[in-house]
Amino acid sequence: MTRLSYRSVFVSDVHLGYASCRADYLLDFLRSLRCERLYLVGDIVDLENMAKRPYWNARHGEVVAEILALAARGTRVTYIPGNHDAPLRCLAGQRIAGIEFALNAVHVGADGRRYRVSHGDEFDAHCATPRWLLRLGDSLQGFVCAVNRRCNALLRLLGWHYRPLSILLKTRVGAAFRFIREFEQRVADDARAGGFDGHICGHIHYARLHDHDGVVYLNDGDWVEHCTGLVEHHDGTFELLHWTEQRLTLARHEASAPVSMPLPVAA
């Protein structure tokens, strides 16, 4: 099988151990590529959900096996735990089965630009959000994921392509859209203050590339609702991919060029 060749690949918010995880699409994505660097940008294994509602199937195990196989073939794999796999943060600085664990990383692109890489949950601390509201948000997220899973099962029976229905809510509900934009601005401001050219993260399940006055915000999305990953080509160009039965380029950030704005995943 001919594999797609990239310099670096970034995936986050896989949530293995959660019923709505689209491990099938991620497995196809991982088996279709070769890369020098693979960054696992948090919430790869949903330890938080597994403590409440244990769930695992063969596809989830196959994703883990494929990641280990990539490391064995020479890909440098860095695992940056997020808030749902936070217990793994105690492994920072260690290397296990070819996988390096870190709290964050600095990625130097092929064009020399420097990007901070982190899960992104650290930027939640800037919001004085009541704990009850966070719990309500988690419950609503679970409900939306369950609806998305059932609707897409029906679409598949009808012979239609996968559609991330939750993106319609996130872009049309004012409070959700404001949260996304404010989160993005905080991340970009922090990157600028740290002297970075950009910041690569996940966490909010909303893939996006955007230039904030010279500082690039890159969110690789998730594999629960939207099935997106971020890849870096060998010339330093970044590309945001949607990967299901229908594979799309959502946005591109050309090396040393302005960022292309993303297209709606559901289009």
pLDDT of res. 1: 61
Residue 264 has pLDDT above 80, yes or no: no
Q: What pLDDT score was predicted for residue 157?
A: 74
Report the pLDDT value the prediction gives residue 177, as an integer from 0 to 100: 74
Q: Which phi and psi (to 5°) does residue 30 adopt?
A: -65, -35
Q: What is the pTM (predicted TM-score) of this model? A: 0.84
Q: How confident is the model at residue 179 (pLDDT cuts 50, 70, 90)?
A: confident
pLDDT 10s digits, 188-228: 999 999 999 999 999 999 999 999 999 999 999 999 988 99
Query: What is the DSSP track for the chain?
Result: -PPEEEEEEEE----BTSTT--HHHHHHHHHTEEEEEEEE-S-SB-HHHHHHS----HHHHHHHHHHHHHHHTT-EEEE---STTGGGGGGTT-EETTEEE-S-EEEE-TTS-EEEE--SGGGGGGS---HHHHHHHHHHHHHHHHHHHHHHHHHHHTTPPP--THHHHHHHSHHHHHHHHHHHHHHHHHHHHTT-SEEEE-SSS--EEEEETTEEEEE---SSSS-EEEEE-TTS-EEEEEESSSEEEEEEE-TTSPBPPPPPTT-
pLDDT top residue among 158 and 92: 92
3-state secondary structure 28-42: HHHHCEEEEEEEECC
Predicted local distance difference test score (pLDDT) of residue 141: 62
86, 49 Cβ separation under 8 angstroms? no
Class of domain 4-253: alpha beta
**pLDDT value for 266:** 42
* Contact in structure between 267 and 164 (CB atoms under 8 Å): no
Enumerate the domain spans of the chain.
4-253
* Chain segment 96-153, per-residue pLDDT in tens: 999 999 999 999 999 999 999 999 999 985 555 555 545 545 655 665 666 666 665 6
Query: Each residue of 55-84: pLDDT tens digit?
Result: 999 999 999 999 999 999 999 999 999 999
pLDDT digits (tens, 9 = 90+) for 158-175: 776 666 666 666 655 566
